[in-house]
Amino acid sequence: MHTVKKILDLFIEISFFLILLIFSFSYLQISLKQHLIFIPLLLFISIKLFSKINLAKIEFWIIFLAVVMMFVFDFSEKVDFIQKFNISIEENKRVPLSTIVLSFALLSFLIKIQIDGKFMISNHPFAIYFIMSGIFLSLLLSIFFPILMVKYQLGIESYLHLLNKILKYSCILLLTTNYLNNDDKIKRLNIGIIASLGFIIITTLLRII
């Protein structure tokens, strides 16, 4: 059982790195203004990587990385491999690659919960209120949904899009806080983020030059 858990953990870790890899291809979608966030972020994570503090004991750092992963996921969803590699898939059947990777990670996580019989929910205020704001928006959507559909026959695509995003963010928060339970894993993820951010910044610099 221990080996199965290790394999599942490995699956989740590979998923994270695959999302980071896809994120690296999003350099064309990132504006120069957004680099203003990426450069300090890269420096900040690099400083933390070389510090001797046990990062697993700092709950804030785990939440921070979860938020960074949400950003990474957001950008990775915009990468259009279909156009890039000229693959012929109907438009309404297209699913972002990072979403497929996330669903595999989530499946591994669910199996792990079945084996362990438990999972952790962070009690950091930011994590709690993040979930709360997601629930708040979902409630608002559910209030407007029937009015829009039944009374005004307006489209609901953007509502479903928002609901989809809230669900994905919540899944990433849950996955990251459960996965990052020791210092080595945090350091490995830090290296992954630094590598993909560094790649994007260097590519942008080369494009400018």
Site residue total, other proteins (CB under 8 A): 33
Tracing tokens 């894993």 back to the chain, one arrives at 185
Distances (CA, A) of 150 to 136, 155, 163: 22, 11, 19
Tracing tokens 């910044």 back to the chain, one arrives at 201
171 lines the binding site for other proteins (CB under 8 A): no
- Residue 149: CB minimum distance to other proteins, A: 13
121 lines the binding site for other proteins (CB under 8 A): no
How many other C-beta atoms lie within 10 A of the C-beta of residue 176? Answer: 23
Provide the token pair at 119: 């999972």
Scanning 3-11, 65-73, 86-94, 105-113 for contacts with other proteins by CB under 8 A, the matching segment is: 65-73
Helices (H), the chain: 2-24, 32-50, 59-77, 81-84, 97-116, 125-146, 157-179, 183-208
Among positions 21-50, residues that touch other proteins (CB under 8 A) are: 31, 33-34, 36-37
DSSP reduced 3-state for 118: coil
The CA distance from 10 to 16, in Å, is: 10
Single residue of 9, 13, 59, 74 touching other proteins by CB under 8 A: 74
Single residue of 14, 49, 107, 162 touching other proteins by CB under 8 A: 162
- The nearer residue to other proteins, 7 or 36, going by C-beta atoms, is 36
144 lines the binding site for other proteins (CB under 8 A): yes
Give the binding site for other proteins (CB under 8 A). 31, 33-34, 36-37, 67, 70-71, 74, 125-126, 129-130, 132-134, 136-137, 140-141, 144, 147-148, 152, 154-155, 158-159, 161-162, 165-166, 169
